[in-house]
Amino acid sequence: MKNKFVQIALGILTGIGGYLEVGSIATSAEAGASFGYSLIWAIVLGTICLIFLIEMSGRLAATSHHTIADAVRERFGFRFAVIPSSAELIVNLLVLAAEIGGVCLALKLVTGIEVRVWAAPVVLFLWFALWVGTLDVIENSTSILGLVTVAFVVAAVKMHPDYAQVARSIVPSLPHHDPAHYWFTAVSILGATISPYMFVFYSSGAVEERWSVKDLGMNRATAAIGMTFGAVMASAVLVVSAHVFHPLHITVDRYEQIAVVLTPALHKYGLPLFAISLGVCCFGACVEVALATTYGIAQTFGWMWGEDKKPAERTRFSVTYTLIILVAMVVLLTGIDPLKLTVMAMALTALILPLVVFPFVVLLNDETYVHGHRNGPIGNAVVIVTIFLASIIAIVTIPLQIVGD
Amino acid sequence: MEPVKLVAGVLDKQIVDSNKRHAGKVDGLVIVLRKGKPPRVGYIEIGTAVLARRFSKRLERWVIAIGRRFGVRQEPRYRVPWSKVKKVAIDVQLDFDASDTPALAWERWLRDHVVGKAPFAR
């Protein structure tokens, strides 16, 4: 048994690692370049909602010993459960393709070799890590390596941001120009922040580790602290990008532009640090998305699941994640622009949030599952208002964005 | 046994065998009608065809046809007598080992033909 402090520390590290990935980096950088500090509120709002959702998924696991997918099928029946599961499967495949693209891009920045060339080796390495590795090893190593993302915070501080202005941007404001792009970027940030794969993954881990009511305090601390750190990192990306690109009126259209974001502050270390941060974060996210998607399918159909057993003991599980990462690779290889793919995947995540989150919130208000540990009115209100808001903005702005392109 | 709610408390629950192996979900329930006696829960059903039936008869026919062509299960649905159900709690617990039953036919087939042949799988 790990001691409590180590457990919380690891949880927080995993939280940071899980938070910052290609979606947060790309959307925050784009927001900073186009709109200065003004979209920081989207990171803050998304994170508050995410903290509630992560806490809820841990609480569901600790009180009912059910994962989200198990509980949704049991409570609402298979006919209903198919709808959120399919929506999540499709969006997760796009997100996974974007994350694999992020790893490939990091390698391209270091080697100069094209993204498409890297796709197959990266997928093979990812598959091998899942096939041979255990969750602890993969997660802890990516989380510890992920600390390199502190580079973004260092760069942000070195740029002497106007802290008063940053603080004011926590409150949502209306755009001064380009409203369609402003709201689309806002919704992409919300989608990148409130990632359903994160809480599916978290709840599966909690059930596997047999959390009980005793773990509720630790769960609350991990969710709040881990995600807050993550939000600080994402805000740092936004601030740095606002300083580097916004004054020059450069909008971010390609990943290669974002790559130089650390260079003015960190000079020759800027590009390698960006590449390592991107590579490590995206690889960690690849593992989480691939496993969360497979957990979802396995738990919906009642298969044996779990990353720590040998593949031969969990054959449907291991074959499923193999197929999932192959499909994601094919999506990446179709030649879609990786930045567009990322931003669109994040906006689509926001679009499907009500489908995925609403049944989950119902469960957290159902005594038969959570036994006296029901949601409070604040948690319910924050989550429901945020996800419906995000989804409505997504419905309006996604078509505008597609037409605009 | 305590009273159980069939749809709210059994249908769609996880099935676990005597070795704590996940053996699918309760995809369907079969009630047996008896002359002059109250109806009785006969079986729990497992299988994609059972799930398809919950949408429509046509989808069920398609799933059965696809299963005949590509499947590894002998029968489109696997029935477990209710008498084999040991306990209904967080999971529906069976009192036998499911590893050689149709419930885990795909697990076995993939192990023997695909995963088992790959490196580092065991």
- Higher per-residue confidence, A188 vs A337: A188
Q: Cβ of A311 and B14 within 8 Å?
A: no
Q: How far apart are CA B92 and CA B110, in angstroms?
A: 25
Q: List for chain A the helix, strand, coil content (%; round to 5).
A: 85, 0, 15
pLDDT band at A17 (very low <50, low <70, confident <90, very high): low
Are residues B93 and B16 in contact, defined by beta-carbon separation less than 8 angstroms? yes
Are residues A337 and A116 in contact, defined by beta-carbon separation less than 8 angstroms? no
DSSP assignment of A225-280, as one string? HHHHHHHHHHHHHHHHHHHHTGGGT----SHHHHHGGGHHHHGGGHHHHHHHHHHH
Runs of H (alpha helix) within B6-72: 6-9, 48-53, 57-70
Q: How far apart are CA A227 and CA A15, in angstroms?
A: 6
Question: How far are the Cα atoms of A70, A89, A208, A296, A299 from residue A82, in angstroms, in the given order?
Answer: 12, 10, 23, 11, 12
Q: How far apart are CA A150 and CA A166, in angstroms?
A: 19
Beta partners for residue A254, in sequence order: none
* Test mutation, B80, B115, B120, chain A, max A CBs within 10 A: B115
Of A185, A320, A163, the residue nearest A243 (C-alpha): A163
Beta partners for residue A91, in sequence order: none
Q: Regarding the domain delimited by B6-116, which CATH topology (the fold level of the hierarchy) does it fall under? A: SH3 type barrels. (2.30.30)
Q: Cβ of B27 and A78 within 8 Å?
A: yes
Q: Cβ of A74 and B12 within 8 Å?
A: yes
Reported as a single tens digit per residue, the pLDDT across A126-182 is 999 999 998 888 888 888 888 899 999 999 999 999 999 999 999 999 998 889 999
Q: Does A132 touch chain B (CB under 8 A)?
A: yes
Q: How many CB pairs under 8 A join A and B?
A: 65
Reported as a single tens digit per residue, the pLDDT across B108-121 is 999 999 999 999 98
Structural domain count, chain A: 1
Reported as a single tens digit per residue, the pLDDT across A336-357 is 888 899 999 999 999 999 999 9
Q: Cβ of B110 and A316 within 8 Å?
A: yes
Q: Does B115 touch chain A (CB under 8 A)?
A: yes
Strand arrangement, sheet containing B92-94? B22-25, B14-16, B92-94, B85-88
Please tell me the least confidently modeled range out of A56-65, A116-125, A395-404. Answer: A395-404
Q: Cβ of B121 and A79 within 8 Å?
A: no
Burial class (CB in 10 A: 0-12, 13-18, 19+), B40: exposed
Are residues A263 and A51 in contact, defined by beta-carbon separation less than 8 angstroms? no
pLDDT of residue A131: 96
Reported as a single tens digit per residue, the pLDDT across A190-208 is 999 999 999 899 899 899 8
Predicted confidence (pLDDT) at residue A359 exceeds the cutoff of 90: yes
Reported as a single tens digit per residue, the pLDDT across A112-142 is 999 999 999 999 999 999 999 988 888 888 8
Q: Quickly count helices (H) and strands (E) in chain B.
A: 4, 7
ipTM of model: 0.94
Reported as a single tens digit per residue, the pLDDT across A268-306 is 999 999 999 999 999 999 999 999 999 999 999 999 998
Mean pLDDT of B36-41: 93
pLDDT of residue A395: 93
pLDDT of residue B1: 59
pLDDT of residue A30: 95
Side chain identity at residue B87, one-letter code: K
Predicted confidence (pLDDT) at residue A40 exceeds the cutoff of 50: yes
Predicted confidence (pLDDT) at residue B82 exceeds the cutoff of 80: yes
Q: What percent of chain A has pLDDT over 90?
A: 78
Are residues A344 and A25 in contact, defined by beta-carbon separation less than 8 angstroms? no
Q: What percent of chain A has pLDDT over 70?
A: 99
Out of A81, A302, A305, the one facing B15 most closely (by C-beta) is A302
Q: Does A124 touch chain B (CB under 8 A)?
A: no
Show the tokens assigned to B94: 């069976």
Reported as a single tens digit per residue, the pLDDT across B8-19 is 889 999 999 999
Are residues B50 and B28 in contact, defined by beta-carbon separation less than 8 angstroms? yes
pLDDT band at A405 (very low <50, low <70, confident <90, very high): low
Are residues B107 and B75 in contact, defined by beta-carbon separation less than 8 angstroms? no
The rounded mean pLDDT for chain A is 92
pLDDT of residue B62: 95
Q: Does B113 touch chain A (CB under 8 A)?
A: no
Are residues A392 and A232 in contact, defined by beta-carbon separation less than 8 angstroms? no
Strands B14-16 and B92-94: parallel
Beta partners for residue B32, in sequence order: B40
Packing angle, helices A315-333 and A338-363, rounded to 10: 140
Mean pLDDT of A35-49: 96
Q: Using a CB-CB distance cutoff of 8 angstroms, which residues of chain B are in contact with residue A310?
A: 121-122
CATH number of the domain bearing residue A104 = 1.10.4160.10
- Residue B20 sits at φ, ψ, to 5 deg, of 60, 25
Per-domain boundaries in chain B: 6-116
Q: Does A388 touch chain B (CB under 8 A)?
A: no
Mean pLDDT of B46-69: 94
pLDDT of residue A1: 46
- Higher per-residue confidence, A12 vs A187: A187
**Domain housing A144:** 4-404
Reported as a single tens digit per residue, the pLDDT across A232-262 is 999 999 999 999 999 999 888 888 899 999 9
In this structure, which long-range contacts are made by residues B51-58, counting pairs with CB atoms below 8 Å and at least 24 apart in sequence? B51/A78, B51/B27, B53/B28, B54/A77, B54/A78, B54/A79, B54/B27, B54/B28, B55/A79
